[in-house]
Chain A
Amino acid sequence: MELILVNIIDGLVTGLLLFMLSAGLTLIFSMMGVLNFAHASFYMLGAYFAYQISIALGFWMGLLIAPIIVGVLGAGVERYGLRRVHQYGHVPELIFTFGLALLIEELVQFIWGKNQMPFNIPEVLNYTAFSVAGNSIPAYKIFMIFISVGIFMGLLYVLTKTRVGMIIQAALSYPRTVESLGHNVPLIFMGVFGVGTALAGVAGVIAGPVLGTFPGMAFVLGSIVFVTIVIGGLGSLWGALVASLLIGWLTTFAKSYNLAMSDIFNAIGISTPENMDDNIFRDLWTVTSPQIADILPYILMVMILIFRPAGLLGKRES
């Protein structure tokens, strides 16, 4: 029972982290119709910038400044890169962001090298918040939850309650109309792209100390983020939230309960074959849930795409 609680907290942390990335990605996608392949690269940049700043000015300045730099970079990429490629169509746009992801990874290796950076949890938060049945919950995790929830609330407030939010929402569905009403739609696009990447930057800053700051970090999380928004339904913010949490919990639980595939097969009435050596399915029998935890999201995605192609909360494709 207590273990469940620990897992719920851990899964929540992972899920909310995923959501900070998938929220920005979804906003950008529904506005411009382009999936930003380099989104997780901005997450990585956030972590590296924060690390560099934290050496000089400490973690908190890093948390404040790094996302701003990342956001400005993101806006620049939109302005001078994407907007140019936009004229060629969606597929070249996607290829562009893919190339950008490659280049950012190389750039990071160029500047900081291939090793993991010693980017650590700030001292203030380096203690145990409380323990559940002998499992200590670090304060930093609680901090991560608060930051993500806070950002989500802020985003929701801006999008639904403010004038800027209204314009953005309108520009999502009717860019032409909004433009003819005198709003600068390209500027809005650039702004949304900047904010979306800045969000990824925040995620990077707070994830860097726990998940590690290394050149492969974008790649590790990047494809999971895509899977998340496909599962949630492309362009649906709530779908992204649901899918992020789902994946967070799914992978956490799969990792902590050591279920073997043979147990599951036995439970549904298939008995384990006597001689395993010649069986081509032998690996399938011995697979355990921690082993497949990382590929569960992909399996889930394939299932969703087969049975509900529009995603969990996505609108049906017309």
Chain B
Amino acid sequence: MSNQLTTDPSKSAQRMRAGSMTMTLMPWILAAGALMLMPFIFTSSSALTIMNQMWITVIFALAYNMLLGQGGMLSFGHAVYAGVGGFACMHIMNASDFFASFPLPVLPVFGGIFGAGLAMIVGSFSTRSAGTVFAMISLGVGELIAASSVIIVAFFGGEEGISGDRTYAMPFFGNEFLQQINVYYLTSFWVLLSAALMYLWSRTPVGRMANAVRDNPERAEFLGYSARWVRYYSFVASGFFAGIAGGLFAINYEIVTEENLNTASSGVILLVTFLGGVGFFFGPIIGAIVFTLVQTVLSLQTELWAFYAGSLFLATVMFFPGGLAGLLMMHVPVFKLGKAKLLIEPYFKTLLPAAIGILGLCALVEMTFHFRHATKGDNEMTLFWTTFDSHTVLPWLIALAVTAVGLAIAKRTAPALKEAWSDANSAGEVS
């Protein structure tokens, strides 16, 4: 991956120590503040559920990016480590005496330990090489463990999975985590801690060498580092944090099933991470937030949400391999040059019609779907707050016109946008 300009740690070293400390700490303080305040802004219980889901996905995606973004290892079976962490935590929840001996917030650590333990075993043979072979092994092992889950019932609970009750833990300052809001703060604490630890990891010698091995394993070997062991450490660390995410899942939902470790879940986390952007530390965070929102909001609106998510993913791979974070960071030079204003108008002129055109396209897709699959006689459908008959011509014409006009305008204004972009990125005076 060519465009991986990882955030450069050397720059901060140059600045004044004290100044750089506040600079580095600022995002974390803001994040902590936001995590604290969120439940006061979004008070409904479904919002809490969504946010919990989001933070868990953030941890998992960050853990995944330790492999993909920082280590250059593409895994198709990473859900296994989160899942096994979750199952382990579930068993601990059900071991009542032991579970009662420590407070609930400690539980995810066990998930981490089990995730890392499994990663130690699998990593011992899978990290010998990166690239295609690593990807294939991850897929095979993932499938193997997912398939075993229906056979080894004692650990995985068969098809029903395993459930438990988080409230049997030792009370934590009198709190038994009966309510969703308690769990929210527990999850928030862990997301902050895990993200900070993973960030620090990328600043350690082994974390730096993970990047080196990703870019040029041979050169790294001639610097005294075994590429394989560097990969191994990254892999185990990633398994640890994935396990923590799994543990938090167990606490949140109080049930863990085969779905937590199957290939579909592994695919989703790849999608989330890549969508957010693998080149930057914060990329997976954006990915997790956006994806969870899209998933929860869109899946309520349309049956086809997975189709849209898949299309978006493919478009990202083809046209914006840096993901959302890459798109955002593209604008940093523009802001530094103070030329962001130049872009407002062209963006408005191109992106708005493009968005309308794409919505028109989605309408066409939805109507086709309704036309083909709705039960006989059910001709009415509701789209964008309008109810109409999908078997008449007019709505089709309207959707077609909106799509064509929107995309056509976007296409005509695109060259101007391109020009404005290069103007905004050049240091000279605006012509």
Contacts and interface: CB of A to CB of B under 8 A. Distances in A.
Instruction: Identify the 5 closest CB pairs spanning chains A and B, nearest first.
Output: A298-B144, A106-B307, A103-B310, A295-B147, A99-B314
Main secondary structure of the interface of B (DSSP, over half): helix
Contact of B151 (A33, A95, A281, A291): A291
A102 B133 contact: no
Contacts of A113: 372-373
A95 B140 contact: no
A235 B131 CA distance: 15
Interface of B: 1-3, 68, 72, 74, 76, 125-126, 128-129, 131-133, 135-137, 139-141, 143-144, 147-148, 151-155, 263, 267, 270-271, 274, 304, 306-307, 310-311, 313-314, 317-318, 321, 365, 368-369, 372-373
Interface stretch (A58-66, A84-92, A182-190): A84-92
Given A85-B321, A287-B151, 14 more contacts: A35-B136, A84-B318, A90-B132, A96-B317, A99-B314, A103-B311, A103-B313, A103-B314, A106-B304, A109-B307, A230-B136, A283-B154, A294-B147, A305-B125
B263 A223 contact: yes
B151 A92 contact: no
B1 A91 contact: yes
Interface string A277-293: 00011111001000110
Contacts of B373: 113
B123 to A, nearest CB: 12
A91 B214 CA distance: 11
Interface of A: 29, 33-35, 81, 84-85, 87-92, 94-96, 98-100, 102-103, 106-107, 109-111, 113, 219, 223, 226-227, 230, 234, 280-284, 287, 291-292, 294-295, 298-299, 301-302, 305-306, 309, 317
Contacts of B3: 88
A99 B369 CA distance: 21
Contact of B144 (A84, A90, A95, A302): A302
A280 B154 contact: yes
A309 B133 CA distance: 9
B310 A102 contact: yes
14 contacts: A81-B318, A84-B318, A91-B1, A91-B68, A96-B314, A230-B136, A234-B136, A282-B154, A295-B143, A298-B140, A302-B144, A305-B125, A305-B140, A317-B129
Contacts of A280: 154-155
Contacts of B313: 99, 102-103
B317 A85 contact: yes
Nearest to B140: A301
Contact of B132 (A223, A234, A305): A234
B349 to A, nearest CB: 26
B128 A99 contact: no
B132 A35 contact: yes
A287 B136 CA distance: 27
A35 B126 CA distance: 17
Contact of A98 (B126, B141, B148, B270): B270
A102 B267 contact: yes
Given A102-B310, A106-B307, A96 B318 contact: yes
A98 to B, nearest CB: 7
